[in-house]
Every structure is written in structure tokens, then in C-alpha cells.
Structure 1
């Protein structure tokens, strides 16, 4: 009896051993098949034939649904083939297996948006965007986010994404254009809201003045500034903005009035560095070096990082025969604004007077380069009928 039981037990053991061997052979065979498909897929990708690589990755997924590499590659290839509905389940599966695949999450968000699932797209893109390392994919993900927010009327969130992109890609053309568009939309939205909430307020007249100035209607802009001041003469910044318009006027009477308005700006805000700087310009133009020195000195004291104020103070110090004090101010101005033609020109003059020929030549070349660049920009602004901001060096100075 025991012998029969022993033979029966031995048969069971042999059965399981045989079954395990079959499983082992089956697993090994499947692994080899997966490896073969993976190798073939890579060969097709090297040949730039994603259309042929896709079936190979599909075969791997059929053999091993939890193969994260195959899932991810298949999702990415389908995405770039434009087959977004087919790409989505594979990208989701890859993310479920490995949640830190930020690039795939960004692609998933883009695919979801392009198939009408904006809510899911927003969640995936917001999660992936700050984690992305590749420039191209981060820009594309950011642009998608901006479009979602703008489409939903949430311009504040769109602007926040724009700000993040601009801080990392300050010279990217698409980022700059999108910045312009979103900020313009924000400005338009704010202006519309202001016109509904306070259509006859001083701020509304101030906004209208800005718009009129932008479109070259200086006299209408000045009238709106004056109207705003009638309504609220203590409004911060208003006297200075009117003074800027008057200072740029071709009428001598309005240019004289500008000085009064700059002083009024200082009466409202004694720390208005820009008004101090402009008063220094006015004093310099009429040849009052000591008064110009006082205004420019005060401006630099209030705002040491204002390149134009540093140039202005250096200018009067050179007139006062103090080049040693002027030089560090001009060097500082160039550090603050390397494109300042005025700073390079004055440094060239200072170096030439000191006998530093090589330094003078270098600064003169920089002056010519940036002068030509700014003249081109002025022509562009003119063609666009937009008035460029006045900068130091553009104001006639009889003591230059």
C-alpha cells in the first residue's frame, strides 16, 4: 500500500516538474520574442520608419502589457503620427507603471486636449510642465496650457504660465509673441472692466491717454491727462505722465510746462526718481550744470540701478571736469544696460580725452552698433505707428 502511495506521489511530483519546465520554456520563448520585436523596432527607428516600428511595439505590448518601455514608445510614436486617440491609452498605461515620466505626461495632456478632453489635459499638463527638462517639450506644453487657460477666460493663469516661460526662454519668438498676445488681452479686459465700473474716473481718463498716446494722438492724450488731474490732482504717477507728454511736444509752451508738472510729481511723491532725472535733463539743456548735478545726484541716490540716471550724472561730472568720478558711473550704466548707445559714446569720449585710444575705439564701435540697432527699431516702430519711449541721449543737450 505504501509503495503504491509512494509511486502516486512521485507521479504528481514529476507532473509538476514537467509543468514548470514547460512554463520556463514558455517564459524564455516569450522573452526571446519580445527581445526580437524590440530589436526590430529599434532598427526601424534608426531607418526613420516609425510606421514599421509601431507594429513591433504593438506585438511587445500584446506579449507583455506591463512593458513600460514598449507602452511609452508606442504612445509617443502614435502621438507624433497624429493618432491621438490611439496614443492616449498607451501613454496612460506607461504613466501608471512609471508615474515620473514627465515628458509622456506632457504628451498625454496634449493628446487629450486635441481630442477634446480639456479637463484631463489641464491636469496632466499642469503636473508635467514644471518638471520638464527638454526646452522644446516644455515650450510646447506651456503653450498648450496657455491656450487652455485663455480659452476658459482665465487670463491670470495664462499670464502666470507666460511668465514662467519668459523667465526661461527670454528670446524665444513664440514665447514673446504669446506674451504680447496674453498681456494685450489682459490689458483689454482690464480697460473694459474699468470702463464699466468707473467710466468717468480719473483712472479711466488716464487709460484713455495711454491708448491715445500709443496711437500717436498726442494732443488728445494730453487733454485726457489734464481731465484726469482735474478729477484727482494727487493721483500717483499722473503728473509725471503728463509731463512726459509735454516734454516730448514740439510746442515750446508745452515743453516749459513740463518742468512744472515734473515738480508737481515730486510734490505728490518726493521719491519719484524719474521726475528727478527728467528735471536734471531740463536743467542740463538750459546749461544749468549745478542744478542738473543736484537733480541727477538725487535720482541716482533714489535709484542706483537706473542706467539713464547714472549717465546723466556722469555727463554733468564730465562738464565739471571730474572724469574720475564720471567713469565708474558710465561703467555702471553699461553693466545695467549694455545696449545704451549714450553710455558707450560718453565712455569713448572720456577715454579719448584720457589718451586711452584702444578703449576709446572699442566704446565708439559699441556706440555705432547700438545706435544703428536703435535707429532700425525706431523705423520699425514708425512703420507700426507706435511711438518708442524716449531715452537719454535722444534729448538735445546744448552742453554736449
Structure 2
């Protein structure tokens, strides 16, 4: 045989063996059929099939090696880089996953999947600004992508940008009936904004379509608890738990509701039952310990709570309850330690400071005790103001919904006396004032709202509408621009901006604004009509 040919064959064989080596050992046992294909035709397709087989069997490290071998044969394959990135993500190697997905995007930027997966990896790496850019690109590629809307809305909610999340998800309101994640996202954004009535309405509508959904049941139960509708929450959670007796999370939710609503008669036996069937579950141990404390069984409570904290040392409620137990057992140093642990673990309840004050007094630490008492009193005052404002705001919403706008105004103003720096509450007051036609007071409430929070897009949009109606197009334009800056997915604000720009004969900018609105909501009747009107207005007369 010619020496050169022999050298080439030997080199190919060495290269082939180097590709196959990762799969030859017991750690990556490849199926015989695929191994045979690789031996016979060592091509990228064969290694790709091998990687996909490993992925299906959750052997992600082996899958990654297979895709790397495939990439040696097809180094410009965007699909292979995406598969590699997904396997590395599943493996937990987030940095390498992000790099692989970025390479996939560089090769083929117009494919949606890698942008979604890259954004998820970046979020996990806390590279949130980069993640947001990827979510935006994904929405540009497919404005109707539920995964992109879910990712972007979760990003916005995590960063406190609730108005923009609401605007994005409201534009997809038809999809929320079919996608549980989007419905939960929208309800969460409403809830974080204090719009609990809207959150409840969304969830009740969607849960009617998906009655067996635990995420929807959990979200609606949470909203009902926040609205102090304890009985309705217990009925909902109890019905779901009864229908799904083997669903541990459904049982956990029901128990939480019972404990929070102080329904100890039903909570205590359920806690005992769940602890018996799940003896190493930290929450069930905590719940049973809390029930034993209330029943005066301090020794049993101490045992359960200590066991719970071994399993989950960051449970501030368990620390607090254990502190109460130790206080009852006259172990003041131990109680003091547990109350301090409760605060260090993020406990926000004013009662922690009060109980800590008591044990500090018992230990003769009067100065420290007085400090805790002062913190307690301030927290109680603030909590009382928030609770009163919340109650009045809820009643105001009910009055407004029933057509009693004047009563709603009185209640919103009473709520604002308790929490005057609540931007959303000022906006809600403006809506009630709008209902009675008091434009001057409405504008004042809106201006107060944006003074507190300039990024409250709903208020900026309404101020723009008032200016537009007053024929102050320059001021209207500025408010509408502020609205879309704060909430780029706010379709209504884009339409209003386009209309204002059209009135100012800024037709090119108006067409850009209406194009943005239609990209967000392609079937929006107002936007479609305005686009026609702008086209007519631009025609020479």
C-alpha cells in the first residue's frame, strides 16, 4: 500500500476513535444500532442521533459529548449548537450552555428556539439585562409566542415592572384562556400592582376552562387569601385536594389555607395525617409543631419544630414558633436565639419584635428590649394604615363596579389618607373621578400618581388622553411617549401616540407608532382603522 494512503487511513482511524472514545466506556453506553451506524458511517447525523438518544434517557453529559463530536464534523450547524446548549443547560452547566446557544444564534439568528433557551440560561446566570434583550428579540421573531411572552412577563415582574407586564399580557388576552402560564403571569402582575379584583377575575375565567390545573388553583387561592376571602379560598383548595388525594402539593395548599385562616379544628388532624405519611417533609413537621403549640403540647411541638428546622433552617415561621415554645418552657436564652433567627431568615411579622422584647426584658436587657418595642409599634402603625387603606380600596372598587362612583371617590380618598404615596391608588382615584366627569380633580390625581411613579404607564396614558381632548397635542405626545417608554408592549398607548402624531402631521412617526401597535396586536380594530386614516391623510389633496 502506498505510504501516503496508509498514513491518511491511519489518521482517519485515529480521528474516528477519538470521536468514539467518550461512548466506549460504561458511563455512556450507546445503543448497538447507533454504535453500528457510527462505525459504518461516522457522520454528524449519526452522532446527532446518538446525542438525542442520550437526551431522551436523561444522560445529558453523554449527549453533550455526542453533540461535540457531531460539531467536529459539522462546525457550522446552528441546530447542533442549540442541542448542545440544551443538554448543557439540563446538566446545570449554565455558562457553557449560554455560550453554545449564542453560537447557534450567531450562525442562524432568525430561529426562535435558541433565543428562548439563551434567555432562560442568562436569567439563571443573573445576566438579566442580556436576558431581556433576548426576550425582546424572541417577541420580534414571533409576537404570539407564549413562551416568549411568559419569559418576558416573568422578567418584568421580577424587576417590579408590573404595568409593562400587564400591558404585554393584556395584548395577548385571547391566549391567556389557552395558556395557563400566561394567565398566572397576568394575575401575578395584577396582584403585585394591588389590582386583586382584576387578578381574581382573570383566574376565575381561565380556571373555568382548566378546572384541573393546580397552578391556576394555587394562584386563585393565593389571591383569595390576600383579599381575606378565607372561606372561599378554603372551599376552593379543599375541593381540589379532595379531588386529588394523592397530590401532595394540593394537600399542602389546603393545609396552608386552614392554618392561615385559623381553622384549627380541620388543620390539626390534616397536619397529623400528612406528617405521618411524609415524616421528612419540613413543612408538615412545622405545621404539626404549630398545632401542638396551640394545643399546649410544648414538648411535642419542640420536637417537631426542631426537626423541621434541621430540614429547612431558613423557615422564619418555624423559628418564631420554636421561640414561642421555648418561651413557654422558660428557656429565655433559647427563645431569644430563635426570635433573632426568625428575623435573620426574613421574618416580617411585628409580633417577632414584640416577643423578642419580652424575653429581652426577662433577661434583664432593658435597652435592647425598648428598641424592639419601638420597632414593633412602628410596624403595627404602618401595618394598620396599609390594612385600612386596602380595605377601603377594596370597598371602593366594589362601589365603582356597582355604579356608585361618588362613594368610591370618598373611599379612595380615605384610603389615600392612610397611604398617600401609593401611586396606583391615586390612579384608581382618577378613574373614579373620570366616571363622574371631574376632569380637574382627575388630572390632579394622575399628576400625583406620576410624581410618585413616573413609570406608571396607565397614568401617563390617561394624562395624554386628557391633553389630547384639550387639544394640547404637544403635552399629549409627551405623556404617550412616556407611557410607551415605560411599557413598550402597551398597545393602547401606541395607538394614542400614533393618533396624536397624525394630528400634528408627523405622519412618518405616526405610521411607525401604529406599525408597532399592530405588531403587538395584529387584529386590533382601532389600530387597523387608524392605519387606513393615516394613509388617506398622507395622500395629496
TM (norm. structure 1) is 0.49
Max Rg structure: 1
